[in-house]
Amino acid sequence: MAPWIDTHCHLDAPEFARDRDQVRARAGEAGVGLCVLPAVEVGNFDTVRALAQRHGDAYALGIHPLCTGTAADDDLTTLDRALAQHRGDPRLLAVGEIGLDFFVPGLDPARQEHFYRQQLALARQHRLPVILHVRRSADRLLKGLRGAGVTGIAHAFNGSEQQARQFLDLGFKLGFGGNLTYERAQQIRRLAAALPLDALVMETDSPDIPPHWLYATAQQRDQGQPQGRNEPAELPRIAAVLAQLRGLAVDELAQATTANACQALPGLAALIGGS
């Protein structure tokens, strides 16, 4: 069976501080051949790069929309320099995680938009795809993409089918993960089942977006049960839910989504072949 690719995993997160190496080892034992580690701010550029080198994974460099409120104005220059400095690193695959977030209150939409558009320009300049954060922002993201000359992955996609088709028309793949394991997530499940197979890539967004079997309700948390921590080893089980929704064999889904990830992030193919 083809190796699974976790196209979005924050292995540098503090939730993994106590057992990061064991987390990555469990993923490998579960059949996850490679994880893509997107940065969220300049302060973790070196961390994701070092982790990718350490575990044979890949990384992306970018400034997350939720970090734009604390980002310095010259962080875009720092990103440009980092992309130039590491252009020869085969593990640097994309500019990300970038995008827009109109769900979390208190963020300046204009500042988010500035960082988003400037990072699209950097991706085009450095000839890299992008990894997009999409939360209540699909239409604005699409507006910025038209004519930008970049492709990549729309991570944790949760928009409409019409919006999904527009991303696909622009050459993007759509990331699906733990959300689709919830029976109540009917829109995501319908999309995951109905979209063309070549549109989909798999992700966990670890340690976030836990699948239903790790989720603790507010009542359970009040009673002392901790929220389950998502990790890349959960990817094959999440994918099995998607395979069932689509009526596919799991190995067929693995082969297809790995090929799709390599199309979205072209540097992946050489890393998988050399692993």
In this predicted structure, what is the pLDDT of residue 184? 96
Query: pLDDT of 219-252, one tens digit each?
Result: 877 777 777 899 999 999 999 999 999 999 999 9
C-alpha span between 27 and 6 (Å, rounded): 9
Number of domains making up the chain: 1
DSSP state of 202: E
What is the percent of the chain where pLDDT is above 70? 99
CATH number at residue 13: 3.20.20.140
pTM of the predicted model as reported, rounded to 2 decimal places? 0.96
Instruction: Give which of 22, 82, 18 is closest to 48, Cα–Cα.
Output: 82
Contact present, 97 and 129 (Cβ < 8 Å): no
In this predicted structure, what is the pLDDT of residue 216? 81
Residue 249 sits in which domain range?
4-274
Query: pLDDT of 115-157, one tens digit each?
Result: 999 999 999 999 999 999 999 999 999 999 999 999 999 999 9
